[in-house]
Amino acid sequence: MNTDPSTLLLTGGAFTVPGGVEGRDLVEELTFDAPSRSEGRTPAHRERFCLVALLRHLLLTEPSLFPATIFRNEAPDFLIHRPCGAAIAIEHTDAGEPHYQRFLSEIEHARSETVGPTEVVSIPSPGGDGWIGDAPERTFIEALRASFLRKSAEQTWRNAPASAERWLLIYDQTNTSIYLSNSAAAGFLRCAAQDKGGANWPYDRIYLVRSQEIVLGWRQQKSTS
């Protein structure tokens, strides 16, 4: 049983999470060490941060999913295999405006030090303009829907077993977070996921990780007919 979390940064790496108290203790001890944007941080670091946050959430809310082994993969990013034979495919993405992400990188490079999440979310917008009316809410929902579309193509899931559930794991990097409580963000997540606007999301579940490791979830309702 491999319980070295560093393998989750390497394609093909595997990490086993035991069930019960042992699994909760193991995941609780994991750290999120990552270099700054200007010193080599990669998408894999964000992916691992979000995955560990999700594992902590699931160990508390759905302990029956464990033990399980997580494999670092490509298309999707992670595969979870359970002893019963069930598989879960997890694809990670970010919710946030590209220009805002460039803005954060420029700030960090200028300071030559890591910018913590509580520092960056207090900046209203890259251009210095404030928000008007429900602009933060609309921007947040638009960012979520963009992330849903980004990973909806079948090619994104090409290496997942046909029977695997498909979970989308989103890191909230929007510049609206300071204006939205977790309960409000959860409501907007449900709204964005359910109001497809003609799109066809292939997801069984969608999880959103916010800056303080808060995990919000949405689950596709299974048809009873």
Structure tokens at 188: 């907007």
What pLDDT is attached to residue 223?
A: 58
Query: How would residue 112 be classed by pLDDT, with cut points 50, 70 and 90?
Result: very low
> CB 50: neighbour CB atoms within 10 A?
26
Query: 206 vs 124, which has greater pLDDT?
Result: 206
Eight-class DSSP state of 85: S
Q: Residue 116 above 90 pLDDT? A: no
Span of 11-25, 124-138, 200-214 with lowest mean pLDDT: 124-138
- Nearest of 139, 127, 77 to residue 102 by alpha carbon: 127
**d(C-alpha 10, C-alpha 21), whole Å:** 27
Q: Can you give the residue ranges of every domain in the chain?
A: 5-219
Q: Across residues 155-172, what is the average pLDDT?
A: 96
Which pTM value belongs to this model? 0.83
Strands (E) across the chain are located at 14-17, 68-72, 78-81, 87-95, 165-172, 205-209, 215-219
Query: 109 vs 67, which has greater pLDDT?
Result: 67
Percent of the chain with pLDDT over 90: 52
Q: Across residues 194-217, what is the average pLDDT?
A: 86
Convert 8-60 into a string of H (helix), E (strand) and C (coil).
Answer: HHCCCCEEEECCHHHHHHHHHCCCCCCCCHHHCCCHHHHHHHHHHHHHHHHHH
What pLDDT is attached to residue 31?
A: 74
Residue-averaged pLDDT of the chain = 83
What pLDDT is attached to residue 199?
A: 73
Total residue length of the chain: 225
Within the chain, what is the greatest distance between any pair of CA atoms?
A: 58
Q: Across residues 30-51, what is the average pLDDT?
A: 77
Q: What is the pLDDT of residues 44-63, one digit of tens each?
A: 888 888 999 999 999 999 99
Query: 38 vs 87, which has greater pLDDT?
Result: 87
Q: Across residues 34-46, what is the average pLDDT?
A: 74
Q: Across residues 129-149, what is the average pLDDT?
A: 84
**d(C-alpha 134, C-alpha 218), whole Å:** 23
Using alpha carbons, list the distances in angstroms from residue 148 to 143, 179, 184, 218. Answer: 9, 22, 19, 12
**Cβ contact 93:166 at 8 Å:** no
